[in-house]
Amino acid sequence: MKDYNMRWVLIILSVLLVHACAKDELDVLEISETDTDDFNTVTQDSLTARRQNNRNNNLSPSEETVQLIVDWNNLWLVLDRYTDGLRPNTTARALGYIHLAGYETAVADMDGYGSIQNRLQGFNLDQDERAENVDRALALNTCYALVFDHFMFSVSNNAKAGIEILEEEFEEELSENLSPEAIENSLEWGALVAESVIAYSQTDTEAESQQIDPNPASYVAPVGQGLWAASEGESAWFPYWNRVRTFVITPEETSSTPPPFSHNGNRNSGYYGQMDDVEISATTARLEDNEDLWISEFWSDDVEGLMMSPPGRQFSIANQLIVQEDLDYEQTLELMLRLGFALNDAAVSAWDDKYTYNTERPSRYILEYINDDFQTNLARFISSPNPAFPAYPSGHATFAAVASGVFMDIFGGDAINFTDRTHAGRSEFRSDSRNFNSFTEMAAENGYSRIPLGVHIQADSDEGARLGYEISTAINNFSLSPNF
């Protein structure tokens, strides 16, 4: 793949960052009308420059499609940072449906791939309604604009201005050499797929209601020694997410390993030892500002307004890998589909286990038994010291492992020379890029990062990794063949 000019994406990020609120408790970004005018101007100028760059490079139709997918995904990552109350569960769900829509929009052009609509009960889309002269990229552009706007519902309208801007710029660029009939058919097909996927998502009434009310008053957490309890002023997030639709594998189909330790205040117990490791690691990291603090903040992705969500982080990695490994558009759409399905299904199973076992966060135990001055390294970013749900298994470790398993399948093995530049240029936290020689190494570091952050013990991360890789096996075995 050619070295695409992504300057416009950096401009979008820069404009949004300039107007981010520097508060102790970060809120969703609000952009004024004046800010939006500036945003529109710089984005239009940069996209015009990119369009000229495309002409000079004579992009093939496949390369043009890949660039469009990468560009839209980069915009999604900006929106993801400023969601309110979606992460990580609703974010993972959004990614599954968004990339189902992208795949189904283009699958008729993809050699060796077939529509999966007959395998998703309640998903009604007739591929025969697609006209022969549909332009793949233009249809995708229309589809992405509609599904982004629908599924990223908890972002301010001003912050979502980039959707319309990108859609209009791509539409102008892609329509230049098409007949009026081809343009109309392409726009209609992209819209039809988007509307069909949205309608399918709305038949999952559990998810539709829970994403509006992620902290249901009906949920009462069990009380007992070693059990999770919300911090003051908090309520449990997504306690019923195990009822949400999965695409490939359900919580009943995944195995579940109970926590290896029971609550024990004895200093010689394994439970105490794991909690003590967290206290030492987190406190040392903060006092010494060492590599562990870098690792913990680099992978955190916990803070709305400051970082993208944990599922979104895996799509940031995917976007970088698509460019680095020069995927064609078929491989790119397959990767996006499998990764979206994987993260959705991982969230459902992980949250099923979280609320089955209801294990406490380390800080609660450490404050009582080890160090009554303990503070997590997440506490400086958010008002609560911990994410507002039980600890076991770690969601970060689950998302990282399921993505790692998908990456290994798509890229033909574990070995990879990859530098994650997701947070390049950021200064609000330890953001310097990190290099990895394998996908498993990268996933393991992501899981480990929760220990020096102070919010998980090693057992939480170990089980998240086990569960994630189990789910990735099912995702990788899900056939996309037209003959299935």
Domain residue limits, the chain: 7-208, 218-477
The pLDDT, as a whole number, for residue 43 is 46
Average pLDDT over the chain reads 90
Confidence of residue 39 (pLDDT cuts 50, 70, 90): very low
Over residues 442-457, mean pLDDT: 98
Give pLDDT tens digits for 349-393: 999 999 999 999 999 999 999 999 999 999 999 888 889 999 999
pLDDT at 68 over 90: yes
The pLDDT, as a whole number, for residue 30 is 39
The pLDDT, as a whole number, for residue 384 is 80
Tokens linked to 24: 């102790």
User: Could you confirm whether domain 218-477 is CATH 2.60.120.260?
Assistant: no
Distance separating alpha carbons of residues 389 and 100, to the nearest angstrom: 28
The pLDDT, as a whole number, for residue 484 is 84
Give pLDDT tens digits for 182-224: 999 999 999 999 999 999 999 999 999 999 999 999 999 999 9
Which architecture does CATH list for 7-208? Answer: Up-down Bundle (1.20)
pLDDT at 2 over 70: no
pLDDT at 278 over 90: yes
Confidence of residue 47 (pLDDT cuts 50, 70, 90): low
Over residues 17-45, mean pLDDT: 38
Do 218-477 and 7-208 have the same topology in CATH?
A: no
The pLDDT, as a whole number, for residue 49 is 56
β partners of residue 359: 227
> pTM here?
0.91
